[in-house]
Chains A and B, each alone.
Chain A
């Protein structure tokens, strides 16, 4: 997941980057894995489902690399990446819960907290008065864990342990980010 740092008071003039660039193409390609993931779960081919979610997670890492190699980082790309994370991992979590291979209570809690975090980011962007987002180092790590959660479910690996441990971690991080985004002063915000 990519996010723009909050510390720069005023962004310098940036070059215009087309939304049709290699990094966004890699990000968009993550959606291709979702129907294959769903079909694998539906046919109870859980090893295949794990591999498809693994590919989805790997592509998430590759888009940042592509952005650096082709020098095509953009605010749109970062937003698109975050939205793609939400859709792909949200879809994966709902599928594994719906098919009964993951406990639905932590899944519901994770989705609720994820939506709440997204709403707070929208408020933060409005508070900051610019199209940048709050860079949460902790949430970046948690998003990677989310991808893994789905793999744990389809791989049958300590599913209850990983899902239930995830919830207090996510509550802690969302609480910290809430304070930073809604209460603490915004660096470089418009007066």
Chain B
């Protein structure tokens, strides 16, 4: 193995795009899931499980995007 793969700047942008891209996609995916299932009967425990999971997915997506913005001193 060589010492490192790329320059620190290139690596910083590589992990930014990877994290930001996946976090954004995750946010959109679980938002769509939540919208699609919003009319299902919430008295069903499995529906509540799904909604809780989608909300957590949305939060995790937001955390990922926020982390990228912090990484580049935007926020």
**Nearest CB of B to A102, in Å:** 14
> Interface size class for chain B?
20 to 34
Q: Complex formed: what's the CA distance from A137 to B49 in Å?
A: 7
The 8 A CB mask of B14-50 against A (1 = contact, 0 = none) is 0110110010001000100000000000000110011
Q: Complex formed: what's the CA distance from A7 to B50 in Å?
A: 12
* Interface residue SS majority, chain A: helix
Instruction: State whether A158 touches B71 (Cβ < 8 A).
Output: yes
Q: Determine the chain B residues whose CB is within 8 A of the CB of A169 once the complex forms.
A: 56, 59-60, 63
Instruction: State whether B45 touches A180 (Cβ < 8 A).
Output: yes
* Interface residue SS majority, chain B: helix
Instruction: State whether B15 touches A151 (Cβ < 8 A).
Output: yes
A-B contact count (CB 8 A): 83
What residues make up the interface of A, taking CB atoms closer than 8 Å to B? 5-7, 39-40, 43, 45-48, 50-51, 54, 135-142, 145, 148, 151-152, 155, 157-158, 161-162, 165, 169, 172-173, 176, 180, 184, 187
What residues make up the interface of B, taking CB atoms closer than 8 Å to A? 1, 3-6, 11-12, 15-16, 18-19, 22, 26, 30, 45-46, 49-50, 52-54, 56-57, 59-60, 63-64, 67, 70-71
Instruction: State whether B1 touches A7 (Cβ < 8 A).
Output: no
Instruction: Give the nearest-CB partner of A6 in chain B.
Output: B46
Q: Complex formed: what's the CA distance from A72 to B67 in Å?
A: 38
Instruction: State whether A187 touches B45 (Cβ < 8 A).
Output: yes
**Nearest CB of B to A132, in Å:** 13
**Chain A to chain B contacts (Cβ below 8 Å), 12 pairs:** A40-B1, A45-B4, A136-B49, A137-B53, A137-B54, A141-B26, A142-B56, A145-B63, A152-B67, A157-B15, A157-B19, A165-B63
